[in-house]
Amino acid sequence: MALTITCPICGKRNGYEFRFGGEEKGPRPEEKDLTPQAWCDYVHMNKCVAGVQEEWWFHKDGCGSWFKILRDTTTNLEQAAGEAAK
């Protein structure tokens, strides 16, 4: 495999320029009624999807931005947003 990631600022680049930042889980939970289970779920738990997932990447050897992409974990290929909706 030779992963490439498309940075919204720098364009398509070698995957090793980036760092994976986890599955998309939404913003930090609100303080109110926060249970240890819900917190653990937010911090540690993953769906480990075998297929297209929405996920975060950081362009460490580039512009330094965090951004989301859709990637198929069974092929390591990025998906255009429209494709995934199908």
Partner 1 sequence: MNRLSQLPTLKIDTTQKLAFTYKEKTYFGAKGDTIASALFANGVRIFGRSLKYHRPRGLYSLDGECSNTCMEVDGVPNVRCENTSLEDGMIIKEQNVKGSAEYDMMGFLDKMDWAMPAGFYYNVMHKPAKIWPLAMKQIRKAAGLGKIAPDHEIPGKYDEIFLNTDVCVIGGGPAGMTAALAAAQKGLRVILMESRPWLGGCFEYRSREYQSRQTLHDRAVQLAKEVEKTENIRLFTHTSAVGTYNNNLVTGFQIGKKEDIFDQRYVEIRANSVISAAGAIERPLLFDNNERPGVMQAACALRLAKTYGQLPGKKAVFSVGHDFGLEAAIELHDLGLAIACVTDIREDGQNLELVKKIRNRKIPLLKGWVATKAHGMKTVKKISISTLDGQISKTFACDVIVASAGFTPVTGHITVNQGTLKYDSHTGAFLPDQMPEKMHAAGRVLGLEDPKSIEVSGKLAGLKAAFDCENCSIQELGDAKKELEALPGPARGSKLVTAPVKGRKTFICFDEDATIKNIKQAIEKGFDVPELIKRFTATGLGPGQGGIPGHNLPLFVAKYQALPDISIRPTNVRPPLVPTLIATYAGANHKMFKTTPMDEMQRKDGGIFRNIGVWQRARYFSNDFSSRKEIENVRNNVGMLDASTLGKFRIHGPDALKALQRVFVSDMSRVKQGRVKYSAMCNDDGCVIDDGVVIKQGENDYYFTTSTGRAGQTIEWIRYHTRYDGWDFALVNLTDSMGVINLSGPNARKVMEKVVDIDISNEGFGFAEYKTFNIADTIPVRAMRLGFVGELSYELHVPASYMKAVWIMLKDAGKEFNIRNFGVEAQNVLRMEKCHIILGQESEQRTNLLDVGLGFLWDRSKADAKTVGAVALRQAENDQTRFKLVGFKMENNGRAPRDGALVVDDKVRGYIATARDSFSLNEAVGMALVEAPLSKIGTRLEIFEDECGDDRIYGKVVAMPFYDPEGNRMKM
Partner 2 sequence: MFFKNKPMWGKKTKLKSSYDVVIIGGGLHSLATAYYLSKEHGITDIAIIEKNYIGFGGAGRNTAIVRANQRTRYNVPLYKEALDLWPVLTKELDYNLMFNNCGNLNLMHSEAAMKAARMTIATAQFHGVESHLIDAKQAKELVPALNISEDITFPIHGAMFHPPGGVVRHDAVVWGLAKGCAKNGVQIHQQTEALDIGTRNGKVTSVTTSRGTINTKQVLISAGGYSAALIYDMLGIKLPISVLTIQAMVTQPLKPVLDHVVSSGAYHCYANQTLKGEIATGAHMDPWPNYTTLNTAHYIKHQAEALSEFLPCLRGVRFMRIWGGLADMTPDMAPIMDGNDQVEGFFMDCGWGYFGFKSCSAVGKYMAQFMAGNECPGMLKPFNLNRYQEHKLMGETAALVNYSPDN
Residue 48 contact, options partner 2, partner 1, none, Cβ 5-8 Å cut-off depending on partner type: partner 2
Applying the rule CB under 8 A, the residues between 26 and 55 that interact with partner 1 are 26-31, 34, 36, 39, 42-43
Amino acid identity for residue 46 in this structure: N
From the list 20, 28, 63, 80, which residue makes contact with partner 2 (rule: CB under 8 A)? 20
CA 35 to chain centre: 25
Asked whether the CA dihedral 27, 33, 36, 37 is positive or negative, the reply is negative
Q: What tokens were used for 16?
A: 């090793």
85 binds partner 2 (CB under 8 A): no
65 binds partner 1 (CB under 8 A): yes
